[in-house]
Structure 1
Amino acid sequence: MKLVCAGMTDVGTTREHNEDDFYLSEGEEALCVVADGMGGHRSGEVASAMAIKAIVEFYRETTVDGKGDARLNDGEDERSLDEYRLVKAIRQANKAVFQAASESELYRGMGTTVVSSYFIEGGVYFAHIGDSRAYRYRNGKLEQQTEDHSLANEYVRMGILKADDVEHFPYKNVITRACGLTDEVEVDVVFREVEPGDLYLLCSDGLTDMITDSALQEMLKDHSDLEKLAKILVDQANENGGADNITLILAKVEE
């Protein structure tokens, strides 16, 4: 399996600075991460950068098989090693952001969403906190792989709000879970089998708030050039208003 990736981040048309960050797979690492920071006085960009740094460092400092590494051999649960490694990396990020926010008044209350993917032979793990999303485009169909940790989504699940009404819900961007707001955080993780030709999209809500899923599905049809496609998506989000920072990663599975 070969993984081809492209990523892009943009400040949008209304924000003064970019609080998003992302990390692209390098070599055989097969790790991709998008983070959407929050907090005043530019602390959001500190939170997202800090989370990315903690996740990547954890991956680089732990062995693939976990042998001899106490951080992976603590017997916490029965997850597969690949799944547990991804979840623990995000937990490390949560602790790093929370500690920084607790120790500095400047960073008080900062946090970030995280959506990540880790590709292995034949499959991919998605782990996330918040409302940044992962999608799969396969055989002309786009499907969301993560479930938003947001007030709007909670209301939909409870039957208080209809899915069709989310777009006009005044608190649709209120998230119920984020990285760095508490000492411990629950990380949602799913595994999906991959097929040659699959295209995966990780993105902040600056993209999905500006482009509907149906429009995204249409735009992803031509994915021969991922760098070009990334720019097309960002440009479209900006044309549609660009109300927030826009960040995305495209990852294509090839033979």
Structure 2
Amino acid sequence: MLRAVASGLTDVGLQRDHNEDSYAVLSEYDLFIVADGMGGHRAGDVASRMATESIADFFRTTAREDATWPFHFDTSLSEEENRLVAGIRVANRQIFERSLRSRDCAGMGTTVVGALFSRKKNRLYVGHVGDSRAYRIRGGVITQLTRDHSLFNDYIAAMPDLTEEQRAELPRNVITRALGMQDNVVVDLMNDDPQTGDVFLLCSDGLSGMLADEQILEIVESTVDVSEACRLLISRANENGGDDNITVLAIRFQEEEPLVDPLDAPTEPEGIPVYEAELPPASEQVTPTAPNTAPVPPSSPEES
């Protein structure tokens, strides 16, 4: 059975004065989340933090009791997919309602990418909204698992014959879907069956916008330590300019270490144990004497 070993890291970058990214690692649920907020008056960090906290709270609540879905249960999806989508949609509604109530939070929103691992099914479920990405690194190959919800991608889908020069003129970093924009949101889903040694990355565009996929692959394959991989990725993104907040969460899959049954533990070999006696100090040792071998005379009979 595989288990997920995960670590995350976030950095403000070199061009921003505060960090609007958030991430969460809930190892007890094998749940991993990255969010990249946006909005004036520092509301972006509020939105991203609300996203990670709302999804985490939803999972904690549904783990303690029967899941009460606030939305229709989609029978075409697995329970894990329904749970992940519901958590993201709950977060969306809370962010949207907060933006309506608070002038400082008006117009705030956030991207999100979340991954949920089922050990029993050995399957990783990924849901995302916006341009925060999920990657898989397997056998020396990096694969982008998510498709950015961006104006650039919409143009490319509508006009696939554009030349490279025309594509270079298209607007970048304009997202077409985010949490908090409306009272409901469509969550894109995908799933994958992890293999031993696979690394899955969740990241904000502060990483994917500063590093080519080949650079990400090279760094991740340089270490088996997921914490070190996150540190190296953020360091390289800053070396390349650090134009945005940078967040990365790395998940490595490895074999579960088998538990040793006490009844199966090795025991002492049968037989009588042999111990070496400890001699007393020389001053206390007794000098042996030769045995007395002289004949013993017969004793005289007792007088009556």
- TM, length-normalised to structure 1: 0.93
Match of 2:232 in 1: 232
In the alignment of these two chains, the number of paired residues is 252
Q: Tell me how far 1:161 sits from its aligned partner.
A: 6.9
Write out per-residue CA displacement over residues 186-245 of structure 1, whole angstroms, 9 at most, x where no aligned residue.
Answer: 000111111111100000000011001122122221231111111110010001000000
Q: Kindly, what percent of the aligned residue pairs are identical?
A: 42
Q: Is the aligned partner of 1:242 residue 2:270?
A: no
Q: Secondary structure at the match of 1:142?
A: strand
Call closer, same or farther: CA 1:230–1:59 in 2, change over 3 Å.
Answer: same
Q: Is the CA contact 1:124–1:194 (under 8 Å) kept in the aligned structure 2?
A: yes
1:137-216 to 2 correspondences below 5 Å:
137-160=137-160, 168-169=168-169, 171-216=171-216
Larger displacement relative to structure 2 (162-171 or 185-194): 162-171
Deviates more, 1:238-247 or 1:218-227: 218-227
In structure 2, how many angstroms separate the alpha carbons of the residues matched to 1:103 and 1:72? Answer: 21
| Distance in 1 separating the partners of 2:174 and 2:36 | 13
The answer for the alignment partner of 2:118 in structure 1 is 120
Please give the alpha-carbon distance, in whole angstroms, between the structure 2 residues aligned to 1:138 and 1:32: 19
- Amino acid corresponding to residue 171 of structure 1 in structure 2: P
Structure 2 unaligned blocks of 5 or more: 256-304
5+ residue gaps, structure 1: none
Give the superposition deviation at 1:4: 0.6
Q: 1:163 to 1:157 in 2, by over 3 A?
A: farther
Higher RCO, 1 vs 2 (CA within 8 Å, ≥6 residues apart): 1
Structure 2 CA distance, aligned partners of 1:84 and 1:22?
21
Q: Is the 8 A contact 1:166 1:172 kept in 2?
A: no
RMSD: 2.0
Q: Which amino acid aligns with 2:251?
A: A
After superposition, give the CA deviation of every residue in 1:55-103 in whole Å (9 maximum; x if it has no partner).
0000000038xx7433279544431111000000000000010000011
Query: 2:52 is matched with which residue?
Result: 52
Post-superposition Cα deviations, 1:125-182, rounded to whole Å, max 9, x if no partner, equal 0000000000000000000011100011111222257596698445210000000110
Rg (Cα) greater in structure: 2
Provide the secondary structure at the position in 1 that maps to 2:104: helix
Equivalent residue, structure 2, for 1:83:
81
SS in 2 for 1:24: strand
Match of 1:103 in 2: 101
